[in-house]
Amino acid sequence: MSNSSVPAKGIVEECQKRGYLAKQLYMVSTRPVNGIGPVMENLGVHLAFQEELEKTGVMFAAGPNWTDDEQDWEGDGTVVYRAASLAEAKAIAARDPMHTSGARTFTVRPWLINEGTITLEIGFATGRFRLV
């Protein structure tokens, strides 16, 4: 095959034909600009922003990325948004206090979810839940 890419529309159509989820989300990669200090200074307002996105249904998932040995955090993370477009996802990321303060910079990539499983256990008597 001589092409170096395939149109996204074709991939979506193929996934839908197979009965896959074909859910368009947007993945934000965020990384420190000037070390961990400014990140820690903005952590509280950043987490409040994230919590608001979760409450309003914009946030799909978010969290820190450990170092490759899984021992430390150097300030970078991944966030996944539900948005109507790449432009909307970029606008949401641009409002994050980590980014408005200059503590971190970010990139946004479209991400099509097709396969996977979410398992949720709910205890009726205890009201406890567990994501497996």
Spell out the alpha helix ranges (H) of 35-112: 36-41, 43-55, 86-95, 97-100
pLDDT for 132: 86
Q: Dig out the tokens for 23 from the structure.
A: 């859910």
| pLDDT value, residue 88 | 98
Please identify which residue in the block is written with the tokens 């074709």.
10
pLDDT tens for 102-122 read 999 999 999 999 999 999 999
CATH architecture of 8-131: 2-Layer Sandwich (3.30)
The pTM score is 0.90
Can you tell me the distance from the alpha carbon of 42 to that of 55, in angstroms, rounded to the nearest whole number?
20
Structure token digits, residue 82 = 């539900």
At 1 the pLDDT is 53
Contacts of 54 (CB under 8 A, 6+ apart): none
Alpha-carbon span 125 to 131, nearest angstrom: 17
Residue with tokens 């980014």: 99
pLDDT tens-place string over residues 14-24: 999 999 999 99
Output the CA–CA distances (angstroms, integers) from residue 63 to 30, 72, 76, 80, in the order listed. 10, 14, 9, 9
pLDDT beneath 50, residues of the chain? none
